[in-house]
């Protein structure tokens, strides 16, 4: 494809083609967002005509008003916040404790402790035994059904362990000589030195809990307990179910499509807002995990 005789010209051509490909990648990634935002502000008639592409047509805010006035939407949005905070807090405590233990190479039985965690990456009990277990523990319809079963992500655990291992051991040894207990060392020496990794882990966990829907879908029986992701899921399911059942409800499903766009915008908004500022933490966290894990 590229001339081997004059590599410099071939190189220029390549750079041009590369630029075009990467521009396409950016456009393909961003266009769906732009379209959804445009739809969320557009009129029903314009959407139905298939005219909405990049800019809103028939600009109006009625759909936003409909969604904003839905008490269940706010209720579920609040649930998402609550579940995210509780689950992240539980996850951080457990992950930090275990990662710290695993980072102590002198500890007898450490290999087994690592193995217990790592094995679960490759083999899991599966959906049905999980479901049976959560049900029989009586965790259904409570935040614990979401927080407890996902309290430790082994990947995050390994990232944190790698970070703790990279800390200089002299500080901890000095603190030990000064009579600080292990708990004291963890809380007063190690954690203040680990702000970066703690922040990264909080982000990892909170984004994954914010985005999760299936645990709630599975273990919550009442709509007022659902997070907003399940609210959106029910809208989507209603849309496909409606059109599958028959074409009689065209109008209704159109309004529904509009509401879907608005809900998608409102649900992804927090992520989109913090994303530019926290992206580098994610990248560095994954690198740390990849290098050591």
Partner 1 sequence: MSSSTTSAPPPGIQEPPSAPPPRRRTRSPSPTGWRRALRKDWQLYSLAVLPLLFFLVFRYLPMLGNVIAFRRFEPGGSVFGEYWVGLRYVEMFLSDPTFWQVFRNTLWIGGLTLVFCFPIPIVLALLLNEVRRRSLKRFVQSVSYLPHFLSIVIVAGITMQMLATDGPVNHVLGWFGHDPVRFIQEPDWFRTIYVGSEIWQTAGWGTILYLAALTTIDEDLYEAARIDGANRWRQIWHVTLPGIRPTMITLLILNIGTFLAVGFEKVLLLYNPLTYPTADVISTYLYRTGVESNSFSYAAAIGLFEAVIGLVLITSANQLSRRTVGTGLW
Q: Which is nearer to partner 1, 194 or 260 (CB)?
A: 260
CB atoms within 10 A of CB 261: 22
Binding mask 128-157 for partner 1 (x = CB under 8 A): xxxxxx--x-----------xx-xx-----
The correct pick among 167, 193, 218, 255 for binding partner 1 (CB under 8 A) is 218
Q: Which is nearer to partner 1, 62 or 169 (CB)?
A: 169
Instruction: Check residue 247 and report its DSSP letter.
Output: G
Query: Is 183 an interacting residue with respect to partner 1 (CB under 8 A)?
Result: yes
**Which residue's structure tokens are 């703690």?**
198
The correct pick among 81, 82, 93, 196 for binding partner 1 (CB under 8 A) is 93
Instruction: Check residue 189 and report its DSSP letter.
Output: I
What's the rounded Cα separation, in Å, for the pair 263 and 64? 9
What's the rounded Cα separation, in Å, for the pair 206 and 84? 6
Q: Which of residues 20-79 bind partner 1 (CB under 8 A)?
A: 21-22, 25-26, 28-33, 35-36, 39, 47-51, 53
What's the rounded Cα separation, in Å, for the pair 23 and 78? 38
Binding mask 270-289 for partner 1 (x = CB under 8 A): -xx--xx--x--xx--xx--
**Which residue's structure tokens are 């580098």?**
280
Q: Which of residues 225-264 bind partner 1 (CB under 8 A)?
A: 229-230, 232-233, 235-236, 239-241, 243-244, 257, 260-261, 263-264
The stretch among 56-64, 71-79, 127-135, 158-166 that binds partner 1 (CB under 8 A) is 127-135
The stretch among 4-12, 56-64, 66-74, 158-166 that binds partner 1 (CB under 8 A) is 4-12
What's the rounded Cα separation, in Å, for the pair 271 and 279? 11
Inter-residue contact 210 to 271 (CB < 8 Å): yes
Q: What share of the chain is helix, strand, coil (3-state, %, to 5)?
A: 80, 0, 20
The correct pick among 197, 207, 220, 225 for binding partner 1 (CB under 8 A) is 207
């Amino acid at each position: 494809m590229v001339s081997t005789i004059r590599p410099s010209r071939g190189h220029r051509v390549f750079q041009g083609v590369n630029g075009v490909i990467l521009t396409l990648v950016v456009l393909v990634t961003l266009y769906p967002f732009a379209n959804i935002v445009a739809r969320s502000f557009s009129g029903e008639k314009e959407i139905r005509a298939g005219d909405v592409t990049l800019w809103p047509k028939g600009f109006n805010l009625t759909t936003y008003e409909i969604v904003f006035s839905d008490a269940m939407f706010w209720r579920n949005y609040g649930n998402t916040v609550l579940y995210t905070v509780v689950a992240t807090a539980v996850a951080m405590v457990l992950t930090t404790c275990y990662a710290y233990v695993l980072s102590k190479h002198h500890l007898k039985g450490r290999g087994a402790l690592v193995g217990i965690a790592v094995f679960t990456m490759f083999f899991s009990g599966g959906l049905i035994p999980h479901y049976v277990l959560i049900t029989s523990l009586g965790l259904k319809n409570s935040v614990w059904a979401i927080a407890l079963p996902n309290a430790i992500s082994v990947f995050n655990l390994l990232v944190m362990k790698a970070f703790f291992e990279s800390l200089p051991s002299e500080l901890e040894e000095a603190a030990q000589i000064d009579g600080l207990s292990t708990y004291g060392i963890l809380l007063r020496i190690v954690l203040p030195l680990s702000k970066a990794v703690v922040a990264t882990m909080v982000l990892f966990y909170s984004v994954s809990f914010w985005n999760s829907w299936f645990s709630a879908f599975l273990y919550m029986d009442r709509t007022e307990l659902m997070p907003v992701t399940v609210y959106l899921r029910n809208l989507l399911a209603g849309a496909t179910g409606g059109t599958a059942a028959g074409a009689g409800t065209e109008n209704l499903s159109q309004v529904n499509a509009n509401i879907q766009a608005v809900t998608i915008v409102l649900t992804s908004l927090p992520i989109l807002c913090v994303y530019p500022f926290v992206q580098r933490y994610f990248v560095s966290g994954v690198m740390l995990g990849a290098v050591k894990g």
